[in-house]
Amino acid sequence: MTTTVDLLTEEQAAQRLLISPRTLHGLRKAGLIRYVALTARKIAYRPEDCDEYVAARLRVESPRSNPSPQPKRKPGRAGPVHGNVLPFSQRKRGSG
Domains of the chain: 4-56 (1.10.1660.10)
pLDDT of 44 reads 97
Q: Is 28 exposed, middle or buried (0-12, 13-18, 19+ CB in 10 A)?
A: middle
pTM for this prediction: 0.60
Q: Along the chain (96 residues), what's the average pLDDT of each consecutive run of 10 residues?
A: 78 97 97 96 96 95 75 66 71 66
H/E run at residue 13: helix 10-17
